[in-house]
Amino acid sequence: RGKMPGLLLGEVFPDFRAETTTGTISFHQFLGDSWAILFSHPGDYTPVCTTELGRAARLSGEFSKRRVKMVALSVNSLEDHQGWTKDILAYNGEDGESGELPFPIIADANRELAVALGMLDPEEKDKDGMPLTARCVFIIGPDKRLKLSLLYPATTGRNFDEILRVVDSLQLTAAKRVATPADWKPGECVMVPPSMSEEEAAAMFPEGIYSKELPSGKKYLRYTPQP
């Protein structure tokens, strides 16, 4: 099977025009100078997707606080998206009749975007035997470049708390010359990159640097309080 076209980290995210539940958007214009998350889901009126979009809606205030715009996508019609929105809001315990989701959903019924962005899951098919979109997460920086991508299969719902944590790390490491260790949460110690000399690190991190002793004797595990 030929490789699906896909985007590489650091590439400029393609600009596109699309119909969404809040009107037509030009993607780069929609982004402005914000960060953004574009997340796809296999289909409207499906169980796992309903829980995911419900969770995304609940966390939308946290994402806005971080200047992150959210936009969803699936290979369904606008009409389906609007009908399904009521179910998502009802799942969240909100009034589905009057409410709207806090982010647009792109209608990609002809699958053009899903193909261009490498979002299709060749294993998962709809009733007509057409591939469905996988659960992609693309995080895009204010420079319009792809900063992170995640790809989950249809059977496994995403963890939106992890996506929020990742945004915190990406934003911190874009602003400061540090890296974040496994399972890092905001406020915890960060790591000094290996490319930085001891002198430079001492000047850059006045709060001090702690090196962990290792059997190799090499001092590469260097921690400093989050700047």
Please compute, for residue 177, the number of CA atoms within 13 A of its CA located in the half-sphere on the CB side.
13
The CA–CA distances, whole Å, from 56 to 118, 124, 164, 195, 208 equal: 22, 23, 10, 37, 38
Q: Which position has the token pair 């261009």?
A: 116
> Which fold is adopted by the domain 11-158?
Glutaredoxin (3.40.30)
How far is it, in rounded angstroms, from Cα 174 to Cα 179? Answer: 10
**What's the rounded mean pLDDT across residues 122-148?**
86
pLDDT at 129: 77
pLDDT in tens, 173-199: 999 999 999 999 999 999 999 999 999
Q: Locate the domains of the chain by residue range.
A: 11-158, 176-226
Domain at 176-226: CATH code? 3.30.1020.10
Q: Which pTM was predicted?
A: 0.89
pLDDT in tens, 15-25: 999 999 999 99
Phi, psi (degrees; rounded to nearest 5) at 89: -65, -40
The active-site residue out of 38, 49, 72, 75 is 49
pLDDT in tens, 106-129: 999 888 888 888 887 777 777 777
Is 49 in the active site?
yes
Residue 30 identity: F
- Exposure string for 50-81, b = 16+ CB within 10 A, e = fewer: bebbbbbbebbeebeeeebbbbbbbbbeeebb
